[in-house]
Amino acid sequence: MRTFFKVILAMLFIVLIMTISFRDKKTKWKGAIEEEYGVTVVKNPKKPIYRNNVFSLKEDLALGKKERNEEHMFFLLTDMDADSSGNIYVLDSEDVNIKVYDQKGRFLRVISRKGQGPGQLLNPIDIYIDDKDLIYVCDSGNNRISIFNGQGDFVSSINFKEYSAGKIIGINPRGGIILRVDKTSIESSMSFITRAYFINMYSDRFDFKKNLYSISVPIMQHFRKGEKGIALSIPYQKELCWTLDSSGNVYIGESQTYEIQVFSPLGKQIQRIEKEYEQSKVLKSDIENYVKEQFQFDRKEGIFWS
């Protein structure tokens, strides 16, 4: 029996040592912080500090899970936001409206409807609510941003000409509006369709102030197979993500470079966060299989371009 307890104690001791060792590895950061031309550069190693999840999410509310009525049905939920009272605004691109619910998920009202007139939407893709509870809706169909008050009354709209309305990143404490706008072009060879993304800063009247970041990405390519042709989305391309913190700093991340650029509320770059990585290679066979599968799919659907 004593031998058994000695074995148990020894095992517990080993587990304790491993736990302490794991914690040491967990909290030790092996990166570096440098200054380059007035920009703070944070260089992270491949291995992160935390091996487990830093946080976990728990469901607090589900809209339309129990209810079976039109007020809780979504055809194409594209985006959502909440106002200062906790009311939830759900943007439905297919139903072309905004459904509003209180904190407990009870339906309150519908904002806007399909159309091209003032306050109407055609293809809404993004919603943002500022600290005054003004609702900004990015409408790619009408190529404008429509603004509503908290009750859903139409306030004004901003039309775009040179660019396509993309995403509303946020409004900083100085009133600066951060937007992502797009511009699509067709290459002279007609093989590629390229889209340029611009993250710009505007005044509270939507006057252009500064470009923070831009990137050009080929989004579609024309393939031929015999006499048939098809335009396919190009997979494995660069993607951007972004956010705005409470101080008005803008964070812009790029998927393929593992970098996050940080800009101040005045639009000056103040930080760059990097991470060591090994880029995954896209094999030629992967591309060929992708094209082959799409041709087979479109043959069934009867959708071809020549």
State mean pLDDT over 51-59.
84
pLDDT of residue 280: 79
List the one residue out of 133, 131, 137 whose CA is nearest residue 92.
137
pTM, 2 dp: 0.80
Range(s) of the domain holding residue 107: 60-159
247 lies in a domain? no
186 lies in a domain? no
129 lies in a domain? yes
Task: State the Cα–Cα distance between residues 78 and 138, nearest whole angstrom.
Answer: 11
Q: Is the dihedral of CA 287, 288, 289, 292 positive or negative?
A: positive
- Cα of 9 vs its chain's centroid, Å: 51
Domain total in the chain: 1
Mean pLDDT of the chain: 85
The string of DSSP codes covering 190-242 is SSEEEEEEEEEEE-TT--EEEEEEEEEEEEEEEEEETTEEEEEEPSS---EEE
- pLDDT top residue among 292 and 132: 132
Identify the CATH number of the domain in which residue 127 sits: 2.40.10.500
138 lies in a domain? yes
DSSP 190: S
105 lies in a domain? yes
140 lies in a domain? yes
266 lies in a domain? no
Residue 248, phi then psi, degrees to nearest 5: 95, 5
91 lies in a domain? yes
Burial class (CB in 10 A: 0-12, 13-18, 19+), 263: buried
Looking at 62-71, 72-81, 191-200, which range is the least confident one?
62-71
